[in-house]
Structure 1
Amino acid sequence: MSSIETSYIVTAVVGIVLGFGIFLAVRFLLPRRLKATYEAQREMIVQKAKERQGQLVQEAKKRADEKLQQMTEELEVTLEEERLSLESLENDYALQEQFAEHEEERIQKLESSIQVHQKKISDLEESLTAQNDEKVSILVEKQSRLAQIADCDVQTTKQNISDTVLNDRRLDSQKRIKELVDDLESHSKKGAERVLSRILSRYQPTFVWPKSVNHVEIQNPRLFEAIAAESSTLIQDLGQLSEGVELTLSPAEHEGMPSVIRLGGGYGIYKEAVRLTLEEVLPRGPSQWGRIERVYQKHRQAIEIQAAKLGRQAVNELKLNNIHEEIQKMVGALNWRTSYRQNQFHHSVEVSRLAGLLASEMGVDPQIAKRCGLLHDIGKGIDYRIEGSHAVISGDYADRFGEKRIVCDTVMSHHNDLVLDTPLSFVLKSADTLSGARPGARINLEEGYQERLHAMEEAIKTFSGIQKVAIMNGGREVHIGVNHKRIREEDLQDFCAAIARKIEEDVAFPGQIKVLVTRRFEATAVA
């Protein structure tokens, strides 16, 4: 080992010993010094806190003194204001007392004045009462003398004056009402003519009205003899199958003309089925007459299918919705029903179209109007087996199959069986009249028409007590006036029913006839 290394080691050992000594000195001396420093700092902080405490106390005391001084001043000001207000109220009270005293004096003076005036008024009333009594007595005396002179009492004179004034006013009112009615009728007529002119210009029917055939010709005389034979039941069998269709065998009226089987009454479909059955079975001879039931049912079913198809076709063409299938069948069945030779199916469709046009012109719902027009005569197809007006039957069946009340009532009203003053009712009546009155629509032979009217009048005049007879509406209505002395009021309904039965027995007529009997009592005096 060299000397240099030895010196290094010695130096290191010496350094370590010195460092350890310094460490021990610092360890024992430093805490004592720090403790003394901390003590000095604590005393200084405590001293400063005490000085700060004194300052804060002085400041708080000063602020409290200032606040107390301010509150004292405010209280003094408030007290002064209250004192002044109290003095003002005392002054006002004194003034009000003075005013009350003055008012009391004035009221006393007014009461005294009122008493004086009341006494004057009482005196005047007594004076006026006495004068009025005197005037009344004078007036009564003068009226009595005037009545004696004129030979007429006061009440009669008043009544005469009142009647004269009322009659004059009534006459003026009647004249004014007549002027207004005439003016209204004139304007209404012109308006109606314009509406009808527009309707007729818009409506141009294109269909051809079919002609109904209600008979079957028998060309072979031997065939006629076979049908007319007592052993033949062809006519009776078809009558039973068709449920009400009347078959009449008529011989040839002139040489060279065929014999015929005439068909009348009953349901239109059944009558057409009978006609087709006869046309198919008769040429085949009596040997085939035993199968008429099967042939009849075949034609009847085919026509019923055709009727349903016609009803659907009409509904679709008119663009109507929710019409029951039974109603559609009844509409289609009108194709085999005529009135004055007018086909009722085409009539119903035409009335529906016209009603829609009229309704659009008059501001009424066109769909409801067309519905009423299509359904208005469906009762004609079944009126042979239901008693009553076809209009009532139509409305009843429409109601039965779900139509609205307004539709049913309007249908019932188109022949006034139900009185209904609505725009829709007048639209339907007008459309029905236009379709029936159109030239060529209906055929009413003048000779037969006059004969029917004459027969109706003769049947009515067989009853006693008849004063006058008026046949109206093309023979559909009869108005009868009876003598009130001969016919009692409680017998009127039975009397009317008896006349209707007599007309049914003695007169042949299409459709129905309404009988109206009027019993009127009148008293006449001449002044």
Structure 2
Amino acid sequence: MDLFIIVYILVGIVLGVIAGKFIFARNTQQKIDEAELQAKNILKEAELKAETIRKEKELEAKERFVSLKAAHDKEVNERNRKLSEAENRIKQKEQSLSQKEANAEKQIKENDAIKENLNRQIELVNKKRTELEKHQEEHIRRLEKIAGLSAEEAKSHLVESLKNEAQTQAIGIQQEIIDEAKLKANKEARKIIIQTIQRTAAEQAIENSITVFNLESDEVKGQIIGREGRNIRALEAATGVDLIVDDTPEAILLSCFDPLRREIARLSLQRLVTDGRIHPARIEEVVEKTRKQIEEQVMEIGERTVIDLGIHGLHKELVRMVGRMRYRSSYGQNLLMHSRETANLCAIMAAELGLNPKLAKRAGLLHDIGKVPDEESELSHALLGAKLAEKYGENPAVVNAIAAHHDEVEMQYVISPIVQACDAISGARPGARREIMQQYLQRIKDLENLATSYPGVEKAYAIQAGRELRVIVESDKVSDQESDKLSFEIAQKIQTEMTFPGQIKVTVIREKRAVNVAR
């Protein structure tokens, strides 16, 4: 029984294996058939796609061939057209050349005929010339017999007489031209000068030697004077200005020939009165601050002036000197106003004459720069101004115009006489200057210069309208006994060298100060 089961199981296993192989073989065959069918389908699709691509490429190739053929045909047609045009032009040129050649042959034939005609005429002219020469020689021989002179002698006499007559006429015509030119030049010069003056309006002389300082009340006068007059003396010593306190209500007069000093004194007094603290130490401090402020204002005035006149590239030192002109006067005429007026006149006149107006304006502004030097010099203001302008790199024409505007050097440029003329116009017009004022200011300045020429003198101020000269000496160089001697010597020198009305009081001040600071 067990054996039978085992056999049965073995038989079942064998049959299962055989059945499995049969099924596997059948499945495998089925897959092979499917793969072959799929491969056939893919191959057909590939063939169809290849056929489609081939047809598309053939169409593209045909289209490109057609386009290339069209372009080629167009190019061939264009070349044929150009060839045809070139052939036509060549034919036209050939026709034109043929025509010109025919005309040239015709012209040559005509020229030959004209030449033959001219040769015949030349022969006739030569024959007539020979006959005329014979007749002329015959006439000359007859004239020589009649006049008793040879032909050369008669010719020389004739030439000499014509030459003398021509010279006489030429001299007369030359003189007429010169007279007419002078008359015309004078008219034009007067016209230019009149137009120049009319186009420039300027102020009249307004400078003086007195400034009125107004007060809110007369009580302030006592503070300004101070105890035993120490405040007013300190203010006069620090500024060099004479303060006149009289019965004039609510006013103090500041008297000095130097406008810069008067302005410093006025501003200092204004600050002191506003502050209320008025004593000698405060006065010196305020005056020093005011002096520095004025120096800054001087620079601002100079810069504003050159900007208003349109002058560029001026050295800073020259700009500062231009600003200092505001506080100087020339024969009662403000020096800055005079220089501005001269500059404008020079520019207008140079423009009328066709010259450089900017260069002329520059020379006109700087022509009196020598009147405001930082240090006194023995040179005249024209030569000193030219030296300063040359030092600070000004144009040679400007330097020469400054130096020559008072004929101290030779004029080398065209603008030099223009500056001289405009300077005279500005100073000579009615109301421009006051000669008496300038003489007074010069006398005051000479007084101070005389005192400062002595050794040991630190400062010198002419006050009381020139009736008093206050001299401040250095205490370590001048003793008390030498102060007395110095006062006497200065008085004697003034008496012998200067002319003045009334009398002049000479006061020598020697002061020793010891200053320490507690910290």
TM-score when scaled to structure 2?
Answer: 0.44
Higher relative contact order (CA 8 A, sep 6+): 2
TM-score when scaled to structure 1?
Answer: 0.44
